[in-house]
Structure 1
Amino acid sequence: MTRDVTSVSPEDTVRRAAQLMKELDIGAVPVCDGPKLVGMLTDRDITIRSSAEGQAPETTRVGDVMSTEVRTCYATQSVEEVLAEMGDEQIRRVPVVDQQSHSLVGIVSLGDIATKHAATTDKALGEISAPGA
């Protein structure tokens, strides 16, 4: 997992989040209220929930367009468990939270796993990439 994760606040503007995503060359950013994970904001969230609705990025808050139902994992979980969840939910990134406080401690991506556990990613990649129902 990547431990040094940049996040945004629900009070930040969509423009600020988009600029950060551009600067870091990422397509998703965790949304935290203090240390606690409260959502994820993806480039798709910005496009579908903000831009397509004609909302102004300078005034629209991240909290208004972020995804709030976020699948998370714990640092103690096995790679196989996390990959199974990623495959079941067709997601490529999973925030890693502390078991007690639920504060953000990192993020794991399919790319992270693929570079270190190539043999275990084949099935998950097929499930994640399968067309949705």
Structure 2
Amino acid sequence: MPTRPIHHVLAERPFVNVSIFASVREVTRLMQEQHCSAALITEHGVLTGIFTERDATFRVIAAGLDPDATAVGEVMTHKPLTLTEDKPFGHALHLMYENRIRHVPVVDTAGRPVGVVTARDALLLDALDFNTELIRREEITVIL
């Protein structure tokens, strides 16, 4: 699975993509509705930043900012590390591990967002391996 191209991992999964001018409240509501832990922030269609649950917690709530009056462009992480969808998923895992991040935006060659790979995707790999191992053990038990 780590050798699979990222576009296979994304598999038409929805992601939040908003303008830098959207309010923090608007963005977090979209994140909640789409069950996403991050939003990709664009300016003129090109990825400019990323806004995560941690950003909402530390840069907005802890800082005492008004989520209705604060534009997401003011509190996002600027110029996030990105990957293109032709890269292997293992590359995304390595990037997340080395940089201690949980989200990697995936962009096309023009810098437009096409999705986001998350640490949760890595957990899914472990869950699939675990399930395969359980099935194998059950089969061995039946044989014995």
Fold match (TM-score > 0.5)? yes
Q: Where is the strand percentage greater, Structure 1 or Structure 2?
A: 2
- Structure 2 residue 20 is the aligned partner of structure 1 residue 22: no
Structure 2 length-normalised TM: 0.71
Return structure 1 stretches of 4+ with deviation > 4 angstroms.
Answer: 116-119
Q: SS of the counterpart of 1:8?
A: strand
- Structure 2 residue 68 is the aligned partner of structure 1 residue 58: yes
For residue 35 of structure 1, what is the aligned residue in structure 2? 45
Query: Which of residues 99, 108, 111 in structure 2 aligns to 1:102?
Result: 111
Structure 1 length-normalised TM: 0.77
Q: SS of the counterpart of 1:7?
A: strand
Alignment of 1:1-133 (within 5 A): 1-2=9-10, 3=12, 4-99=14-109, 101-115=110-124
Question: What is the aligned-residue RMSD (CA, Å)?
Answer: 2.0
In structure 2, what residue type is equivalent to 1:56? D
In structure 2, what residue type is equivalent to 1:86? M
1:91 is displaced (CA, Å) by: 1.9
CA distance in 2, matches of 1:22, 1:80: 28
Q: SS of the counterpart of 2:19?
A: coil
In structure 2, what residue type is equivalent to 1:31? I
Q: Which runs of 5+ in 2 are unaligned?
A: 1-8, 130-144
In structure 1, what residue type is equivalent to 2:79? E
Q: SS of the counterpart of 1:63?
A: helix
CA distance in 1, matches of 2:118, 2:59: 24
- The structure having more radius of gyration, on CA atoms, is 2
In structure 1, what residue type is equivalent to 2:52? T
Q: Which runs of 5+ in 1 are unaligned?
A: 120-133
The share of aligned pairs that are identical, in percent, is 31
In structure 1, what residue type is equivalent to 2:88? S
